[in-house]
Copies of this chain bind each other. A is one copy, B any other.
Amino acid sequence: MEWINKSKILIVGLGLMGGSYAKALKRMGYHILAIDAKEESISYALEHGIIDEGAAFPEEALISQADTIIFALYPTLICDWIKENQKFFKSGIRITDVTGIKTAIVYDIQSVLREDVEFIAAHPMAGREVYGVENADDRMFRNANYIVVPTEKNTEEAIRWCEGLGRILGFWKVAVLSPEEHDEMIGYLSQLTHCIAVCLMTSNDNPHLSEYTGDSFRDLTRIARINENMWTELFFMNKEALLKSMDGFIDELCELRDEIRREDAEAIKEKMRLSTKRRALFDKNNS
C-alpha cells in the first residue's frame, strides 16, 4: 500500500479544506508541502505545525519534491495552474482535487496534463460555514462522504489509491461515481439546498424573524452564510444539472401549494407519507 511510504504531499490552496487535509495527513506522518497565494496562510500553517514547508508562489523547489499533489483551489484556477507549473512535476506522480463540480473541469485537466502523470478527481462532501486555514478541522470528515470521480482515462490503480486517500483522511464512507452522475447528484443535494437556504433568507425582510425562529428554520438556513464568489462559480460550472434540480423542486413546491390552496388533504398527506418514509431511510443509512 503506497500510503505506507511516508511520501511528500503538496497541497495547492491552503484554505479551510486544504488546511483540514494538511492536518489529517500530517498526523499520519506525511511530509506536507503547501502553496497558497496568501502569505499569512502559509505563515500561520507553519507556526501551528499544520505543514512542514510552504511558499506563497509556485516554487519549483517545493513542487518538484511532491509525490502527490492535492488541489484545493477555486475550480477555475486549477487548469491554468497545471499548465504553467507541470514542467516542475516529478514523473509518475498522482494528482487529485477537492472540487465540488466535476464535468466542467476534469476532462479539461486530463487533456492538458503531461502523459506521465495521472489526475484522479475526488470530492470530499464536507464543509463548514467558516473559511481559512485558521478554521481547518479534519473532524468534519468523520460523518461525511468522500467521492472518487474517475473518467475512462483513469487507471484502476489510481482509483484504488484515491479511495485509500479518502479512508486515511477519516471519511465515513467512500464511493465512486462518474463525473456526470456526481454533478447531477451534487446539483440536487448540495447546490439546490444552498439556493433554498439563500432564498429563505432573502424572501422575507421582517427584521424580527431571528427573535422567534425555531430549530427547523435555523437548520434550513445554516448554509445561507455562503462564499458568494466560490458558489456562483460552482453554480455556473454545473448549470445544466442545477437548473434541472431547481425546476423539479419548484414544480413540486408549486404542486403542494396548489394542494393546500384547494385543501386536497389526501394529496398532501400522500406527499408527507412519502417524505417521512424516504427520510427515515436516510436516518437508518447515515446517522
Contacts and interface: CB of A to CB of B under 8 A. Distances in A.
Given A199-B249, A228-B276, A212 B145 contact: yes
Contact of A218 (B177, B188, B214, B287): B287
B226 A275 contact: yes
A222 interface: yes
A250 interface: yes
Number of copies: 2
A198 B272 CA distance: 6
A45 B125 CA distance: 43
Contact of A185 (B212, B220, B243): B212
Contact of A254 (B209, B232, B250, B280): B250
A251 B252 CA distance: 14
A81 interface: no
Interface string A16-49: 0000000000000000000000000000000000
Contact of A210 (B126, B272, B282): B282
Contact of A147 (B212, B218, B279): B212
Interface string A212-243: 11111111111111101101100110010011
A157 interface: no
Nearest to A236: B263
B252 A199 contact: yes
A45 to B, nearest CB: 25
Contacts of A254: 250
Contact of A144 (B214, B285, B286): B214
A185 B224 CA distance: 19
Interface residues of A, number: 89
B243 A279 contact: no
A212 B239 CA distance: 20
Interface stretch (A82-90, A91-99, A110-118, A200-208): A200-208
A102 interface: no
A56 interface: no
Interface in A249-287: 249-254, 256-257, 260-261, 263, 265, 268-269, 271-276, 278-283, 285-287
B218 A222 contact: no
Contacts of A210: 278, 281-282, 285-286
A241 to B, nearest CB: 11
Contacts of A253: 195-196, 199, 203, 246, 249-250, 253
A246 B257 contact: yes
Interface of A: 125-127, 143-145, 147, 173, 175, 177, 185, 188-190, 192-204, 206, 208-226, 228-229, 231-232, 235-236, 239, 242-243, 245-254, 256-257, 260-261, 263, 265, 268-269, 271-276, 278-283, 285-287
